[in-house]
């Protein structure tokens, strides 16, 4: 089977163009001429891989072996989170692709995003929501490790819902990208365990580099691709980018309530469910697919992360306002009695 030809037979529907024969070394999708030279394309691929590597080392530096062991011994919260991560998000992606009648390459893009493990932004959002940070970090670790087997399997199962689509998913490329997340994550854990004084430096440097390079690549791609990039911003793709994290947060919290988790655990599970590993998604879309096939859709993770972050920040704002204006549940009479008793004890201690 010629997988590249299978790609081409599907992508022609996606962009409403037919694929022209390419003799220049650059991919052509009808009116869309892939603007990057082979050298530039390889450079972007290499940078994407390096950024993924650095990000996962930084994520590993936030993990502690003792806390991981604690949640493995008592795995109820982690188990619920894993079920939510690999049960809810892929199903949401599949349903949205069906309901919005996405074309084949768009559906693959959305499914890959939905089947990715939890991202490190979930840890930051959990902290801002005063959720269970230990659970959040362990969930991110477990979902990253389990994705090595779960992600290819889920993609195979859900792609069967689209005619012939399971034949064009680059499983080997996805598996390689997943392995590339496990190794640097283990390196980060080792740094935090044996050289903890360097872990904060690695975390700050890693996330700073991630932010700068992500913005730079986004701007360069936007300028270079020109008007073609607006293919991404169709109503369907905007709807997917908006609805996926929102439904993920909502259902993640609902599942945790059903299984009677405490408040901090509910917040952690909700954030872990809705937040995807966008760096991994970007690496898969950019590296595993030929450029003439994926076109500008490799920028879809940027659309997702905008809505993922905006919706999480809105939830954080609502939570903070609720905490600020929430009426005190403590009985003022008892509080006054406590203060009087405390003051009396203090006077006795001084006089003695």
Dump the DSSP string for 313-341. Answer: HHHHHHHHHHHHHPPP-S-HHHHHHHHHH
Q: What pLDDT, on the 0 to 100 scale, is given for residue 225?
A: 61
Indicate yes or no: pTM above 0.85.
no
Among the residue ranges 63-67, 243-247, 287-291, the one predicted with the least confidence is 63-67
pLDDT at 127: 76
Largest CA distance in the chain: 96
Output phi, psi for 326, to 5 deg: -65, 125
Do residues 224 and 218 touch, judged by C-beta distance below 8 A? no
Q: What is the pLDDT of residues 15-28, one digit of tens each?
A: 443 334 444 444 44
pLDDT category of residue 144 using cuts at 50, 70 and 90? confident
Mean pLDDT throughout 110-117? 93
Q: What is the pLDDT of residues 206-235, one digit of tens each?
A: 878 877 877 777 677 667 666 555 655 678
CATH number of the domain that 286 lies in?
A: 1.20.1530.20
146 CB neighbour count, 10 Å cutoff: 15
340 in a domain, yes or no?
no
Q: Would you say residue 65 has pLDDT above 80?
A: no
Q: 20: which DSSP letter? A: P
- Is 252 in contact with 269 (CB distance < 8 Å)? yes
The lowest-confidence range among 95-109, 237-251, 324-338 is 324-338
Residue 21 belongs to some domain of the structure = no
In percent, the amount of the chain with pLDDT more than 90 equals: 18
Q: Which of 304, 301, 311, 341 is nearest to 246 (CA)?
A: 311
43 domain residue, yes or no: yes
Q: What is the extent of the structural domain holding 145?
A: 37-326
Is 20 domain-assigned?
no
Query: Do the domain assignments include residue 342?
Result: no
Q: Which residue has the higher pLDDT, 347 or 159?
A: 159
Which among 204, 193, 195, 175 has a CA at the least distance from the CA of 288?
175
What pLDDT was estimated at residue 250?
A: 94
Q: Which residue in 97, 100, 137 sits closest to 121, CA to CA?
A: 137
Q: How many domains does the chain have?
A: 1
**What's the confidence (pLDDT) of residue 28?**
41
**Residue scoring higher pLDDT (247 or 135):** 247
* Bridge partners, residue 29, by sequence: 19, 32
């Amino acid at each position: 089977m010629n997988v590249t030809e299978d790609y081409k037979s599907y992508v022609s529907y996606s962009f409403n163009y037919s694929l022209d024969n390419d003799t220049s070394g650059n991919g052509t999708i009808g009116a869309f001429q892939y603007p990057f030279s082979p050298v530039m394309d390889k450079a972007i691929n290499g940078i994407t891989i390096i950024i993924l590597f650095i990000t996962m080392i930084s994520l590993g530096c936030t993990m502690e072996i003792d806390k991981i062991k604690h949640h493995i011994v008592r795995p109820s919260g982690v188990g619920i989170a894993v079920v939510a991560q690999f049960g809810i998000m892929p199903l949401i992606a599949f349903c949205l692709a069906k309901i919005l009648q996405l074309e084949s390459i768009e559906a693959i893009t959305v499914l890959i995003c939905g089947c990715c493990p939890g991202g490190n932004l979930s840890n930051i959002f959990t902290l801002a929501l005063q959720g269970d940070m230990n659970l959040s970090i362990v969930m991110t670790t477990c979902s990253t490790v389990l994705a090595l087997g779960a992600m290819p399997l889920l993609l195979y199962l859900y792609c069967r819902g689209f005619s012939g689509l399971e034949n064009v998913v680059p499983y080997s490329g996805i598996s390689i990208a997943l392995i590339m997340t496990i190794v640097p994550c283990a390196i980060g854990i080792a740094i935090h365990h044996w050289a903890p004084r360097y872990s904060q430096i690695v975390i700050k440097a890693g996330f700073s580099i991630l932010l700068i390079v992500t913005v730079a690549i986004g701007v360069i791609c936007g300028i270079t691709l020109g008007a073609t990039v607006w293919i991404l911003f169709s109503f369907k793709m905007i709807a997917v980018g908006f609805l996926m994290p929102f439904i993920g947060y909502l259902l993640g919290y609902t599942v945790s309530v059903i299984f009677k988790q405490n408040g901090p655990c509910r917040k952690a599970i909700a954030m872990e469910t809705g937040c995807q590993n966008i760096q991994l998604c970007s690496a898969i879309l950019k590296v595993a697919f030929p450029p003439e096939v994926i076109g500008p859709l490799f920028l879809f993770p940027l659309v997702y992360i905008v809505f993922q972050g905006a919706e999480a920040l809105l939830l954080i704002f609502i939570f903070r306002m609720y905490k600020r204006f929430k009426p005190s549940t403590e009985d003022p009479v008892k509080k006054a009695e406590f203060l009087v008793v405390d003051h009396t004890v203090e006077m006795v201690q001084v006089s003695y």
